[in-house]
Chain A
Amino acid sequence: MSKLLVTDTTLRDGSHAVSHSFSPEFVGEIVSKLVAANVPIIEVSHGAGLSGSTIQQGFSTHDEWKLIESAVANKKDSKIASLFVPGIGTRPEIITAANIGIDVLRIAVHCTEADVTQQYFEQAKKSGLETVGFLMMSHTQPASVLAEQAKLMESYGADCVYIVDSAGALVPEGVRERVAKLKESLSINVGFHAHNNLGLAIGNTIAALEAGANQVDGTLRGLGAGAGNAPTEVLVAVLNKMKIETGINLTILMDTAEEIIAPVFQYPLVIDRDNLAAGYAGVYNSFLLHVREAAAKFNINPVSIIEELGRRHAVAGQEDWILDVAIELAQKQLVR
């Protein structure tokens, strides 16, 4: 088996958990630590990908290009990746990011919509980038559908396709099935991105490895949307115990997670009621803070909003439905 490739996405998925407030200095500091620890790929962008600074997704405090410049300036032998969501980003942003010096573009779509990604894979390749296809909300589709979608991405030029458990809704068996089916269907790398809503971020990541995944994601201390991700330092510790070589220095990760990342947490990252409800109902993790805000404003239980979003099959990028649901629930309460 070729060496397992770990991507740390603290500076992208973690952006959701701090309401997109990372500064260029902070990004530079974290990237230097991850580089020193020998993490091969480091993802940096707004949580919703390039150009994600919007009313819908939350405005960034700092200019995203400055964050990426700061990451690139400190990257040394590691690669810098950015997330890209078609519709939120357009091709000009891919060109700008490539010109700044990112190495990898991770192109994310709802897991049934791979055929909108062709023009972006082509642009990324033209701009000299490695490419990853990100099949979001993979729990909603069976392995066979995901494999078809992944094959489309492979045909557009993807170097790897990820099963992305955006809602933290998968259990290990579901992860194994999906990863194994992609391995069987593709000739490129297969990856897995976990969320921890059911307490399975590390367990599911290991299940993915056992099913043949070549690439996996983590974030320092688990800092990420909703219930957070597989903590990179915990993942590396587990992999060391399993004698799976990553070349990553555990001590530097542990110190960075403890001393630099823990202090920026804005709320405790635990599997509380809202996060468990999201994982159980299969609702996109990035909705969490928007749900809490709407629930507070209209004085309703966040879980009722989460459950209704699950019933409506909301996909990534549908934060506007939160307000719609909240107003509707508030009106129902008044009627009662």
Chain B
Amino acid sequence: MITCDEFFAEFGDYLENRVSPEVRKELELHLSQCRACHVLYDSTCQTVKIVTDNSSFDLPRNISESIIGTVMAKLRADRA
């Protein structure tokens, strides 16, 4: 079985689903037998899910409309 360091070396690509079937098999065998790496994998996936699902840093519509309004007014005035 691969070591925790070897698991970690492929971890970024595994999270992004970018590993070959052969590498995936090795990583999943390791995950099934190593609690520390399992917790790491699970909590990192949850972190990504929480960040992805909560539309953070949303620009309030009134603010964006006000900025776009100011910009377009200036451009129309310049053109006139």
A and B bound? no
Interface residues of B (CB under 8 A from A): none
Q: Give the B-binding residues of A (Cβ under 8 A).
A: none
